[in-house]
Structure 1
Amino acid sequence: MRYVPYGPELEGVPNIIVDGRGNDATVLVLSHWPRNRTPPELKADSSTEIVLNYLRSPQREAYRDGAEAVSNNHYDVDGLISLWAMLNPEAVRQEAEADLLVAIGECGDFDRWSGEQATKVTCALYGLESLPSSPIRQGLAGIRDYLERTAFLYREALPLVPQLLDDIGRFEEYWRDEYRKVEAGRGLFARGEATVQEVPELDLAIFQLPHEVHDMALYEQTACSRVALVIEGHRYQARYRYESWVEIQSRRPPPRIDLRPFADLLQSFEGNPGDWAADDVQRTLPRLRLRGPEGSTSPSSITPGLFLRLLAQYLRDQASNQELLWSPHTADIEYISELASD
Structure 2
Amino acid sequence: MQRSFLPFAELAHQPALVVDSLYPNLPTFSHWRGAPTPEAVRDDTSGGCVLRALTRTPELLRLPYVTANHFDIDGFVGVWSLLHPEAALAAQDRLLDMARIGDFRELNLDRPAARAALPLVCWINERETALFYPPFAAGGREAVASVPKFTFFNEAFEEVLRQPEMFRDHWGPEHDTVLQDAALVRQHADAIVRYPELGLVVLRLPRPVHYYALFGVTEGFDMVLAQYPDQRYELEYKYTTWIDLASRPTLPRLHLQPLVERLNALERGPLPWHAEPITDTGPILRLDARSLPKPQRYGHPTERPIHTSSIPPHELEQQVVAYFREYYAGVQARWRWTWHEIRTLNQQIFGKKADRGALPKA
The two structures share one fold, judged by TM-score above 0.5? yes
C-alpha distance in structure 1 between counterparts of 2:340 and 2:155, whole Å: 36
Q: Which moved more, 1:186-195 or 1:270-279?
A: 186-195
Residue 228 of structure 1 pairs with residue 225 of structure 2: yes
Residue 315 of structure 1 pairs with residue 313 of structure 2: no
Greater share of strand: 1
SS at match of 1:336: coil
C-alpha distance in structure 1 between counterparts of 2:33 and 2:248, whole Å: 15
Counterpart of 1:162 in structure 2 is: 158
C-alpha distance in structure 1 between counterparts of 2:288 and 2:329, whole Å: 28
How far is the alpha carbon of 1:196 from its aligned partner? 1.3
C-alpha distance in structure 1 between counterparts of 2:229 and 2:22, whole Å: 41
How far is the alpha carbon of 1:320 from its aligned partner? 5.5
2:74 to 66, 78, 102: 78
Per-residue CA deviations over 1:29-79 (Å, capped at 9, x if unaligned) read 10001111001111011111110111102x422x24x52221001100011
- What code does the residue aligned with 1:337 have? K
Q: Give structure 1 stretches of 5+ with no counterpart.
A: none
Per-residue CA deviations over 1:127-170 (Å, capped at 9, x if unaligned) read 11113xxx4459xx999933221111101111111022112223
SS at match of 1:202: coil
8 Å CA contact 1:128–1:174 kept in 2: the answer is: yes
How far is the alpha carbon of 1:124 from its aligned partner? 1.1
- Count of aligned pairs between the two proteins: 323
8 Å CA contact 2:241–2:252 kept in 1: the answer is: yes
Counterpart of 2:49 in structure 1 is: 50
Counterpart of 2:171 in structure 1 is: 175
C-alpha distance in structure 1 between counterparts of 2:266 and 2:116, whole Å: 46
Counterpart of 1:6 in structure 2 is: 8
SS at match of 1:230: strand
SS at match of 2:268: coil
What do you get for the CA RMSD once the two structures are aligned?
A: 2.7
Q: Percent identity?
A: 26
Q: How does 1:242-257 map to 2 (within 5 A)?
A: 242-257=239-254
Counterpart of 1:104 in structure 2 is: 98
Tell me which stretches of 4 or more aligned residues in structure 1 moved more than 6 Å.
141-144
- What code does the residue aligned with 1:298 have? H
Per-residue CA deviations over 1:75-129 (Å, capped at 9, x if unaligned) read 00011111000011121333xx111111111111111225222111111111111
SS at match of 1:249: coil
SS at match of 2:54: helix
- What code does the residue aligned with 1:301 have? S
SS at match of 1:155: helix
SS at match of 2:153: helix
Q: How does 1:1-342 map to 2 (within 5 A)?
A: 1-7=3-9, 9-22=10-23, 24=24, 26-57=25-56, 59-61=57-59, 63-64=60-61, 66-94=62-90, 97-114=91-108, 115-131=114-130, 135-136=131-132, 145-192=141-188, 195-223=191-219, 224-291=221-288, 295=292, 296-319=305-328, 329-332=337-340, 335-337=359-361
Q: 1:60 to 1:215 in 2, by over 3 A?
A: same
- What code does the residue aligned with 1:76 have? D
Per-residue CA deviations over 1:160-192 (Å, capped at 9, x if unaligned) read 110221122232232222222211211113333
Q: 1:328 to 1:185 in 2, by over 3 A?
A: farther
Per-residue CA deviations over 1:12-39 (Å, capped at 9, x if unaligned) read 32221011112x4x42110001111001
Q: Give structure 2 stretches of 5+ with no counterpart.
A: 109-113, 293-304, 342-357
SS at match of 1:281: coil
C-alpha distance in structure 2 between counterparts of 1:106 and 1:142, whole Å: 23
- What code does the residue aligned with 2:234 have? Q
SS at match of 2:192: strand
Counterpart of 2:299 in structure 1 is: none
Per-residue CA deviations over 1:218-243 (Å, capped at 9, x if unaligned) read 22212211111111110011111111
C-alpha distance in structure 1 between counterparts of 2:325 and 2:189, whole Å: 29
C-alpha distance in structure 2 between counterparts of 1:310 and 1:163, whole Å: 50
8 Å CA contact 2:275–2:291 kept in 1: the answer is: no
C-alpha distance in structure 2 between counterparts of 1:13 and 1:186, whole Å: 45
SS at match of 1:70: strand
